[in-house]
Amino acid sequence: MTDPLLHHGDDELAPGLVDLAVNVRTGTPPPWLREVLRAALDGVAAYPDARPARAAVAAAHGRDPAEVLLTAGAAEAFVLAARALAPRRAVVVHPSFTEPEAALRAAGHPVERLLLDPPAYRLDPTAVPADADLVVLGNPTNPTSVLHPHRDVAALARTGRVLLVDEAFADTVPGEPASLAGRTDLPGLLVVRSLTKTWGLAGLRVGYALAPADLVAAMAAAQPHWPLSTPALAAAVACTTEAARAEADAAARELAGHRAALLAALPPGVAVVGEPASSFVLLRVAGGARVRAALRDRGWAVRRGDTFPGLSPDHLRVAVRDPATSRAFAADLAAILCPEIPGPIPTTTSLPAAVPEEHR
């Protein structure tokens, strides 16, 4: 049986299904980025030079280039951290993306799970064991879409501890109010970022880690030479310019409206878990496995939730798409949940699209 920690949204896909299982923004890469990638092909005869990309990422976050490690997506950063560190007590906050725990276990490290309480799934810094020397969490968290206040996450940093924060979806929140990517004052802070979600580069593998220079050097020592291709490095430069970051922020603001439209369309019988802030929402429905199968029969792929520690088969993660797609999905979901009720079903389900003040 496949390890549930290694199950991902793309495992739900099949020809003919509308993809609500993978959280990559639709309509990407944009035309200008496609041109960057095409132009980069002219340089693939030479070995990749990571220096311009490292400098670009460092400038985007106000960091020294020595504090930047370019990686083949966020997933490689988790593997490198697991190889470079020797934690005595590693704690992973769940429900969350499962790759960090899988990487730690593959490297032979025992892992403890701290399960956040439903239905809010909000971080309580005091619940983290004081003697944990490695703490891992996501912000905003996949799959709950919950955005933890930056002060609560920062409170976990301390001397003698590595605090690994997965910020793969940070740029899906307007203004990135909870991001710690620019913080150099917090000891042991390791922030992992990805350019694949917002820019549609999952197949190219582009990510990076931000950390103190000694931790970056330790992770780099566990990394093979030339881990990113020339096109991937070109994408890293292009996507961290001021113009690109402004475009990403505009996309995040549009996303907030699209998310509100999805939530407003959901039928009775669907519970929205937590307070979603990212490019996906976590839903809970009775008979979730049956509902997911019925959605597939109607042409929809959604992400099962039971492979995430702390969730059940009744949890489904749904990517935010344009309002027309969301309304069509909600109509089919309503037909599955309430087959005796014809036509569209009104709902009062809604959440504010804006980021709460506490995250700022």
Is residue 219 very low, low, confident or very high in pLDDT (cuts 50, 70, 90)?
Answer: very high
The count of residues in the chain is 360
Q: Which helix (H) or strand (E) holds 271?
A: strand 271-272
**Digit-coded pLDDT (tens) for 35-52:** 999 999 999 999 999 999
Kindly report, residue by residue over 246-259, the tens digit of the pLDDT: 999 999 999 999 99
Q: Which long-range contacts (CB under 8 A, 24 or more apart) does 31-40 make?
A: 32/238, 33/199, 33/235, 33/238, 33/239, 36/234, 36/235, 36/238, 37/204, 37/231, 37/234, 37/235, 39/234, 40/230, 40/231, 40/233, 40/234, 40/235
What is the pLDDT at residue 340? 65
- What is the rounded average pLDDT for all residues in the chain? 94
Q: Which among 281, 264, 284, 301 is positioned nearest to 16, based on CA atoms?
A: 301
Q: Do the bridges between strand 134-138 and strand 162-166 make them parallel or antiparallel, or are there none, so unpaired? A: parallel
Cα–Cα distance measured from residue 36 to residue 231, given in angstroms and rounded to the nearest whole number: 8
**How would residue 1 be classed by pLDDT, with cut points 50, 70 and 90?**
low
pLDDT tens, 67-101? 999 999 999 999 999 999 999 999 999 999 999 99
- Go through the domains of the chain in sequence order and give each one's CATH number: 4-25+245-337 (3.90.1150.10), 31-241 (3.40.640.10)
Q: How much is the pLDDT for 266? A: 98
pLDDT digits (tens, 9 = 90+) for 170-218: 999 999 999 999 999 999 999 999 999 999 999 999 999 999 999 999 9
- pLDDT confidence bin for 313, thresholds 50/70/90: very high
pLDDT of residue 339: 78
CB 128 within 8 A of CB 156: yes
Using a 10 angstrom Cβ sphere, with 0-12 exposed, 13-18 middle and 19 or more buried, the burial of residue 296 is middle
Claim: this prediction has a pTM higher than 0.85: yes
pLDDT band for position 354 (cuts 50, 70, 90): very low
Q: Are 150 and 178 in contact (CB under 8 A)?
A: yes
Lowest mean pLDDT among 4-13, 81-90, 262-271: 4-13
Stretch 100-116: mean pLDDT = 98
Preceding omega of 346 cis (within 30 degrees of 0): no
Q: What percent of the chain is modeled with pLDDT above 70?
A: 94
pLDDT confidence of residue 187 = 98
Residue 78 has what pLDDT?
98
Which tens digits make up the pLDDT trace of 124-182? 999 999 999 999 999 999 999 999 999 999 999 999 999 999 999 999 999 999 999 99
Taking the CA of residue 179 as centre, how many other CA atoms within 13 Å lie in the half-sphere pointing to its CB? 20
Per the listing, tokens 């956040």 go with 116
DSSP string of 55-93? HHHHHHHT--GGGEEEESHHHHHHHHHHHH---SSEEEE
